[in-house]
Amino acid sequence: MNMKVLRLHNIGDLRLHDEEIPNPGQEEVLIRVKAVGICGSDLHWYSESGIGDARLQRPLVLGHEFSGIIESGARKGQRVAVDPALPCERCEFCVQGHPNLCNGVRFAGHGETDGALRNYISWPERYLYDLPDTISDVEGAMLEPLGVAIHAIDLAHLKPGMSIGVFGCGPIGLMILQLVRRSGATKIIATDRLAHRVDAAWEYGADLAVQADGSGENAVVWGAAGKRGVDVAFEVAGENPAIETAVIAAKPGGKVMLVGIPAEDHISFTASTARRKGLTVKFVRRMKHVYPRAIALVAQKQVDVASLVTQTFAIADYQKAFETAIDRQGLKVVITL
């Protein structure tokens, strides 16, 4: 019995294949994939044939934000969200509780590990999290980017009453914005280059949302921060102008959280500004141990992930789905199977 599998062969070269359904290995179960989110990192693979220092070595199945139904084993029939990271569980970083920093991690849709843009995938059962009936398949796929947002919040050590900047209002930025509002932030300032994402920032709770076009938004942000600066600045765009805005916006002694992934694999900002302020700059590497909290937040409707999904496509319409995501139309594109 065969299944449909979407593989990336080269820049912009996606092809739908017929392949055999995989047989689960030891400690694995078979999952029927139901929904897959297209992430910014998938778009790096699609448009650059790689991400960071990782390059495409063979036709790769993308997709790491996904939900499905277990089709084998004792939990057969259970709807699940899937943690796409498989750490070695033996290195010092794994043992110390930091599996997201494991040098031997395998990650769905990255390098040699095929992802979820196919009808079926085999995955270790211990990395599957049961979904309640109140969370849809599409919402289940959104738990992975929500996990990244939660991890960024964890690293920032937010406290009630803080002022916050969110620079880049794609799906993860807007999830951070929602979480920040829940944390008791007294002022949230957001920027994005796209007008519809600025509008979304207002809708999700920003006190000020500014369209970034290089014509003075940094001065507006600094003024809105009381010429004191924000306590924590989250950069979620993966672009140097957003990093520069975050550094300018942060208060002396403040924190800058770098969540975005730059296309050129290099970042830059004005060193004298960051140095004189004594800023703490932290890089956010995926996530760790967050799925139970992500599920609870969505189930209790404390975070709205459903409305972030603005377009859904069948896997047969993969080209249109990726073109829509590349063009930054709407907010989140999800492929359903």
List the CATH number of the domain containing 239: 3.40.50.720
C-alpha separations of 320 from 50, 220, 317, 324, 332 in Å: 20, 37, 6, 6, 14
Report the distance separating Cα 271 and Cα 251, nearest Å.
15
Which structural domain range is residue 89 located in? Answer: 2-142+305-336
33: confidence class by pLDDT, cuts 50, 70, 90: very high
> So what's the pLDDT on residue 306?
98
> So what's the pLDDT on residue 253?
98
Model confidence over 141-180: pLDDT tens digits? 999 999 999 999 999 999 999 999 999 999 999 999 999 9
Shared domain check, 43 and 89: yes
Q: Quick one: tokens of 229?
A: 């600066």
List the CATH number of the domain containing 81: 3.90.180.10
279: confidence class by pLDDT, cuts 50, 70, 90: very high
Shared domain check, 20 and 131: yes
Shared domain check, 249 and 315: no
Shared domain check, 210 and 127: no
| Mean pLDDT on 253-266 | 94
| Mean pLDDT on 88-102 | 98
**Residue-averaged pLDDT of the chain:** 97
38 pLDDT above the threshold of 90: yes
> So what's the pLDDT on residue 163?
98
In a domain, 295, yes or no: no
Of 127, 172, 129, give the one whose Cα is nearest residue 150: 172
264 pLDDT above the threshold of 90: no
> So what's the pLDDT on residue 263?
85
In a domain, 200, yes or no: yes
In a domain, 327, yes or no: yes
| Greatest alpha-carbon span in the chain | 64
In a domain, 291, yes or no: no
Shared domain check, 157 and 265: yes
Beta pairing partners, 110: 113
Of 239, 19, 198, 229, give the one whose Cα is nearest residue 114: 19
Tell me how many domains the chain contains. 2
1 pLDDT above the threshold of 90: no
In a domain, 103, yes or no: yes
In a domain, 293, yes or no: no
Shared domain check, 133 and 69: yes
Report the distance separating Cα 166 and Cα 230, nearest Å.
10
Q: Quick one: tokens of 75?
A: 């939990």
Shared domain check, 115 and 27: yes
Shared domain check, 275 and 233: yes
Report the distance separating Cα 238 and Cα 49, nearest Å.
17
Percent of the chain whose pLDDT exceeds 70: 100
Percent of the chain whose pLDDT exceeds 90: 98
